[in-house]
Structure 1
């Protein structure tokens, strides 16, 4: 099966206007039943886990042999254990069978699991509740590969970011509602068990009913023979994920986010009780703030990324998470003492607590910026026939990281670390891990630098940007106005570009580092370095043979007057060796900025007037290689640029 959306998805994609709202997906059958099915599953998970955790934290006497200080971390670890044991098998099942059928089977299983959980609540039986926790983990393990491999089969590529944002937002709104229901249910001292048991069973029944409307989703590899050995298949899935370096490191990045999220979420009960001196209802406020933050961050991703998979948001997200997690540590130490457990009203009446809530909200919002592009990147760059198993590999890694998170938190707690110190440790670890990942995959940091430039200094208008192909080889040619031309084009391209650039640029400290890591191709005139020129043409030929985009500035140097210099034969030489479509482009509005060679150069307007400078990137129709002479290309680029320099 190819990587295109199903026919219904294609028809819907053609029918909508140029920039539709992602919320429109909730009115379409290809998305809405699936969305509400996963929403109800996430909500039920949290009604159960929050109810269980709240009871053992604040009513520990009813549960013999349970340590209230470590129970939350233990519950988290038990829930995650099935992901380690069964994710590999679940990925194979999701690739082999119709995902709609699997969704209904999983939701039927959930009803039986919640009957066991209801009995555990009724009898105040910790063993039954731990068993239900494990079985809900099994439920989520099987559904995980179905959940994230379903979207690319029903959504077009430009809907993936919005669709993932909706799913992430829905998941955390479900967590919020589940948290409220679980917390309120546990708060009924006499009848809490009945309330929690009834809620869990009712939500499972509703989820099963909604799953009946999920549309048929053909299996991408129905002939697959399932390997039921979880150990060998786990190893095989991880090897499969490692075949694409960027995808694998994206999996590690998502798993690290789950490490952070699990640490914070599992700590909230003890954080509320021991640090904030607050009652269980305040836990709902903390979890609600966190959930709303990540939901808003997830929804904002589509707007910030202009409906593209913008991995430049990932470093922005990791920076924000570290900053606000560190500030949460300091905010926790600035709290005034309380002589009793504060109610929600008393908690909110103290100004110092608003800083805590702001830190949690912003930490979670930046977590949304971090996660949504990574999920969309994995879905778009994974082979369709193996996508569910790649998602399974992701779940395996997620679970391992979350178990390590629980073990770390339990170990630090045993060593005398308080909850704020655990938060600080996690934030500092995030700085180290982020720096390591971005050093391995510079594409993330390069896209961040490009995204930051064009969203800080400039407001860019794109003209026919869809003419830059989503896949396949092409040569891009553009006028050369400023030192940041390549960064602007990089920020607006839907995929990585190999830029052909003057070798002297590579000698400058920061810009040289930037373009070396972007795999730019240094070039020099024959009279300066004939060997380097020959090597540049060889690298261009190899890049085009590999299906990559190559961009060249045919003028060979920056304009000193604002007018275009004569185009040289570099582009012609490249396409003579490896024929590929040639796409003319033109930048408008950069002449006169401090990044150009204008004698009247000025800083972009945000620094001078507080208004973003406007520039345009116009893209022309693809040109057959045989027609792409220097004269023709210069004429086309001149027409695209127009009078504005």
Structure 2
């Protein structure tokens, strides 16, 4: 599996995706820290509102542009589209530099929307490219590497965005975008495997069409629903990491620990299940992993009911307490289960439909993911004031039991 990284038919795509995910999260994190401790430092309530809106701004392009990106990727050479998208990222970095230098909230929000659009355009390309360039027995390993690398890149971007100064963040953004463009230029040609209709300029109609197409195939439908649940659950949990760490008496380092455990756990689970699958698209692990996700999420809710007596705690002091060790262990196991759960579903997404419509199926999955994250945010808003964070996690665990039934049908 690791040998794929040295192959031109995988390595450049892997690097391109890895650096794109890093840049997205580096800018997003740098923006939130600048807003919280700079632009709105005297208005914490306004800063919290901007942080919530930032998530919506990044997700919105997936709802708006996924149909266009999927239809374009099925009609034209995917490697060429990847180069166009990475070239556009350089222009985004220029806008990011201006926004960070001026500390302009409107420009920061516009740039964040642009990074979301960049990711929404590249998403269908990367997952439609993998089955086109990899042998069937390599697809699972390649998918696992992409998932593991993406979550580790997200973690690195989130951490560095909060640690480095604006000038250093901009230099990192520019260097990463340049290397990403060079990597994209090394992706081998990937012409469309079959005839595809021209992209529909009516985005609402195009979105409805790709969703109907993907959800009409039972295996695709269950894969899309399962992936959407994982990303909704992940969004709900990670949004709660900073306030959860604070409620448990932890300093900011405890929130960083939670992010690290989640990202590393998903990477470990993804790589582990790919070795178990041995190159074949096996979905038997999905249902047990879905059950583990539901039970561990509920367990996390129970474990976080009572804060430790001593506070404030740094990361090491937190895990040295019995309650802190239990929370950290449950979170790591939950993330490992997530990695085991997601790889078979993505492998199914890439193989269950027709090759000529693969990018549109991936685009439909992205739309469903965005909708699920919006819905789980609404659930969080409704549950948190009444039941708090433990109640939210118990609720999410109960909802997760429905994902077990969907996973079993694969």
The normalised TM-score by structure 1 is 0.61
Map Cα deviations across residues 459-503 of structure 1 (whole Å, 9 max, x no partner).
xxxxxxxxxxxxxxxxxxxxxxxxxxxxxxxxxxxxxxxxxxxxx
1:86 paired residue number: 65
2:158 paired residue number: 179
Map Cα deviations across residues 379-427 of structure 1 (whole Å, 9 max, x no partner).
11110111111111111111111122223323434x3543333222211
Aligned length: 410
Q: In structure 2, which of residues 302, 308, 315 is the aligned counterpart of residue 336 of structure 1?
A: 308
Q: In structure 1, which of residues 410, 421, 428 is the aligned counterpart of residue 391 of structure 2?
A: 421
Map Cα deviations across residues 17-51 of structure 1 (whole Å, 9 max, x no partner).
xxxxx111011010001001100011111112223
For residues 368 and 47 of structure 1, the distance between their equivalents in structure 2, rounded to whole angstroms, comes to 23
Map Cα deviations across residues 51-105 of structure 1 (whole Å, 9 max, x no partner).
3334445667338686344444322221111111110011011011111111111
Contact 1:63 1:125 in 2 (8 A): no
Contact 1:317 1:370 in 2 (8 A): yes
Name which of structure 1's ranges 369-378 and 402-411 shifts more when overlaid on structure 2: 402-411
Map Cα deviations across residues 278-307 of structure 1 (whole Å, 9 max, x no partner).
333332221111011000100011222232
Which structure is higher in strand share?
1
Please, what is the CA RMSD of the aligned residues?
2.1
1:321 paired residue number: 293
Contact 1:227 1:233 in 2 (8 A): yes
For residues 34 and 139 of structure 2, the distance between their equivalents in structure 1, rounded to whole angstroms, comes to 39
**1:309 corresponds to 2:247:** no
For residues 135 and 42 of structure 2, the distance between their equivalents in structure 1, rounded to whole angstroms, comes to 50
From the superposition, tell whether residues 195 and 280 of structure 1 become closer, same or farther in structure 2 (CA, over 3 Å): farther
Map Cα deviations across residues 492-526 of structure 1 (whole Å, 9 max, x no partner).
xxxxxxxxxxxxxxxxxxxxxxxxxxxxxxxxxxx
Contact 1:121 1:196 in 2 (8 A): no
Map Cα deviations across residues 86-137 of structure 1 (whole Å, 9 max, x no partner).
1001101101111111111111111222222233333333222221221111
Higher relative contact order (CA 8 A, sep 6+): 2
Q: In structure 1, which of residues 397, 401, 404 is the aligned counterpart of residue 375 of structure 2?
A: 404
1:170 paired residue number: 149
Three-state SS of the structure 2 residue aligned to 1:428 is helix
1:268 paired residue number: 241
1:357 paired residue number: 328
Contact 1:42 1:171 in 2 (8 A): yes
1:234 paired residue number: 207
Matches within 5 A, 1:584-603: none
Matches within 5 A, 1:152-167: 152-167=131-146
**1:385 corresponds to 2:356:** yes
Name which of structure 1's ranges 284-293 and 120-129 shifts more when overlaid on structure 2: 120-129
1:243 paired residue number: 216
- Structure ID, larger Rg: 1
1:151 paired residue number: 130
1:125 paired residue number: 104
From the superposition, tell whether residues 128 and 407 of structure 1 become closer, same or farther in structure 2 (CA, over 3 Å): farther
For residues 297 and 51 of structure 2, the distance between their equivalents in structure 1, rounded to whole angstroms, comes to 20
**1:220 corresponds to 2:199:** no
The normalised TM-score by structure 2 is 0.93
Contact 1:69 1:270 in 2 (8 A): no
Shift of 1:334: 3.7
From the superposition, tell whether residues 58 and 424 of structure 1 become closer, same or farther in structure 2 (CA, over 3 Å): farther
Three-state SS of the structure 1 residue aligned to 2:210 is helix
For residues 132 and 218 of structure 1, the distance between their equivalents in structure 2, rounded to whole angstroms, comes to 31
From the superposition, tell whether residues 241 and 223 of structure 1 become closer, same or farther in structure 2 (CA, over 3 Å): closer
